[in-house]
Amino acid sequence: MMQKILNYIDGKLVEPKSGKYLDNYNPSEGKVYSLVADSDERDVSDAVIAAAKAFPAWSAMPTEERTKILLRVADLIDRDLEKLALAESIDNGKTVKFARSVDIYRAASNIRFYATASPHFASEAHVNEGDSVNYTTRFPIGVVGCISPWNLPLYLFTWKIAPALAAGCTVIGKPSELTPMTAFLFSQLCIEAGLPAGVLNIVHGLGGKAGQAIIEHPEITAISFTGGTVTGKKIAATAAPMFKKLSLELGGKNPNIIFADCDFEQAMKTSLLSSFSNQGEICLCGSRIFVERNLYNKFVEEFVKRTKELNVGDPQNETTQLGAMVSEAHLKKVLGYVALAKEEGGKILTGGNQLKMEGRCANGYFMEPTVIVGLNEKCRTNQEEIFGPVVTIMPFDTEEQAIGFANSTPYGLAASIWTENLKRAHRVAHQVKSGIIWINCWLHRDLRTPFGGMKQSGAGREGGWEAIRFFTEAKNVCVKL
Ligand code: NAD
């Protein structure tokens, strides 16, 4: 009997109303290993009824009590770190090592961060001497929907539900149908931690069915979504006319700008990580590398040499650096972009092909890390999000040109800048149109900072108080003195 991934509704693990299940693949073996609930609007409706019933008590609970419960959930994630890391790796294809140190570690941090933040959340007062006092209170917004993607499954799922729950909202969550396992294991931990029934409900299934039902449900007042830009547009088209509050974290095509005066070794080491970590399947990966012309040849030569040395293989092996791509369809899409790059005149300096493994992973979806040069900034390869282990490298001559290249796409999520010149670092940071700029680093995260993108990379910000504000509604009370 294959394991079934059930919905978590009203505190219980339940079968989908349809009685149907979708195949869930292990991408490193290329085979089905579990079944995930194929939910529809009936399951979403049950989840909303449970969440609405739980809302009055959860939102009125003293913050300290909510904090205690959420901290118990975080402690259980720590207890099950190894089990969850292995599960994430099997479900997504990423290495166990990465899942342990990034995904699952961060899932516990997300919950701890917001559980301990909410008692410090304060509102504002505006005093008009001798005339009036205004004070602003913030109330949890109600039943909210949190929809997350497959690339950092439990990490991004908890990044949304933690602030929602800490703020006093009740939640309908939907993880990606491609990577539902750790959210299922998480629902078991919530039950064990004593999270009251209905406070968090997890409905599994397809985006166009279960996800769409969440977006359309009239009693869900806010939607926090992370995923592709095309899906984000669809969600906005449905939710905006219903006046739902929306937070959209979408795709990226992030520039990595390297000036000749950089710390070469740091820039090189970190650029390898920002190009190929998690198989390049991180929205923040720097997929377009721009190198100042007098450093270009040296950078390309060394970068290609080190890319060739990267170890692609069994995600359960601790020395593996790149695991499997999430699905066969996604692998084909990424290989399609390599073919497009060739058509557009690009030269593949290394990689570009699917990789065949031996043994357990013989049918897995592996790909060589790929470096492409010889393209201009306007071609499709350099304009569209590929979301795989593929980077392009281009030379630039001036600071202005580098900024122009960086800003040439419809996206504006993140950027890295490498230079030892302090003035230039700030100058360029201020002109690159991205919501997140890293100077001489990458993926260096402080959970208090605003997180999100400009242009087609999204609307709104997560992180710190931004997320607590999103899940609460402001009310101003004016008192005439
Ligand atoms: P996706 O948009 O296909 O799916 C994301 C989620 O939305 C899934 O749970 C899916 O089932 C659901 N969904 C799909 N259609 C829906 C609909 N009509 N209504 C409601 N829900 C629907 O994205 P993906 O392929 O899972 O993830 C990859 C994308 O996510 C990339 O573009 C990546 O850049 C982006 N991403 C962005 C961030 C960020 O913070 N900005 C972080 C990670 C990933």
Residue 451 in contact with residue 435, Cβ under 8 Å? yes
Share of residues in the chain with pLDDT > 70 (%) = 100
- Say yes or no to pLDDT of 173 above 90: yes
- Which residue lies with its CA nearest to atom 42 of ligand 1? 283
Mean pLDDT within 261-265: 98
CA distance 405 to 92: 33
Report CA 237 to chain centroid distance, whole Å. 21
How far apart, in whole angstroms, are the C-alpha atoms of residue 296 and residue 306?
15
Please give the distance of CA 276 from its chain centroid, rounded to a whole number.
Answer: 16
Summarize the chain as % helix, strand, coil (round to 5).
Answer: 45, 25, 35
Supply the pLDDT for residue 1: 84
Look at phi and psi of residue 199 and say left if phi exceeds 0, alpha if psi is from -120 to 50, else beta: alpha
Does residue 356 have a pLDDT over 90? yes
Average pLDDT in the chain:
98
* pLDDT level of residue 71 (50, 70, 90 thresholds): very high
CA 229 to ligand 1 centroid distance, Å? 8
Q: What distance in angstroms lies between residue 145's CA and the mean position of ligand 1's atoms?
A: 14
Do the beta carbons of residue 161 and residue 200 sit within 8 Å? yes
For residue 40, give the H/E element and its range. none
- Asked if 94 and 141 count as a contact pair (C-beta separation under 8 A), the reply is no
Average pLDDT over residues 163-185: 98
Whether 286 shows a pLDDT value over 90: the answer reads: yes
Q: How many angstroms from the chain centroid is the CA of residue 386? A: 15
Whether the CB of 250 sits within 6 Å of ligand 1: yes
Q: One of 29, 88, 177, 249 is an active-site residue; which one?
A: 249
- Amino acid (one-letter) located at 388: G
Cα distance between residue 475 and residue 452, in whole Å: 25
Residue whose entry in the numeric block shows the structure tokens 């294959």: 2
Q: Tens digits of per-residue pLDDT, 444-459?
A: 999 999 999 999 999 9
Residues 183 and 154 sit within 8 Å (Cβ to Cβ): yes
pLDDT above 90 coverage of the chain, percent: 100
Best residue among 22, 226, 229, 253 to mutate for probing ligand 1's pocket (most ligand atoms within 8 Å of CB) is: 226
Q: Is 208 in the pocket of ligand 1 (CB under 6 A)?
A: yes
pTM over 0.75: yes
DSSP per-residue codes, 292-332: EHHHHHHHHHHHHHHHHT--B--TTSTT-SB---S-HHHHH
For a ligand 1 pocket test, name from 94, 283, 409 the mutation site with the most ligand atoms within 8 angstroms of its C-beta: 283
pLDDT of residue 212: 98
What's the half-sphere exposure (Cβ side, CA atoms, 13 Å) at 244? 27
Mean pLDDT of 124-152: 97
Q: Is the CB of 22 under 6 A from ligand 1?
A: no
The active-site residue, picked from 190, 283, 285, 361, is: 283
Residue 167's pLDDT is 98
Is residue 44 within 6 Å of ligand 1 at its C-beta?
no
How far, in Å, CA of 323 to CA of 348, rounded?
21
Give domain limits for the chain. Answer: 3-250+457-480, 255-446
Q: Which CATH architecture has domain 3-250+457-480?
A: 3-Layer(aba) Sandwich (3.40)
Q: Which CATH architecture has domain 255-446?
A: 3-Layer(aba) Sandwich (3.40)
Dist CA 292 CA 340 (whole Å)? 26
Ligand 1 close to Cβ of residue 287 (< 6 A): no
* Candidate of 151, 204, 325 to mutate for ligand 1, largest count of ligand atoms within 8 Å of Cβ: 151
User: What is the position in ligand 1's atom list of the atom closest to the CA of 457?
Assistant: 41
Angle of CA points 457, 458, 460, to nearest 5°: 140
Please name the residue that has the structure tokens 């769409």.
212
Dump pLDDT digits (tens) for 209-238.
Answer: 999 999 999 999 999 999 999 999 999 999
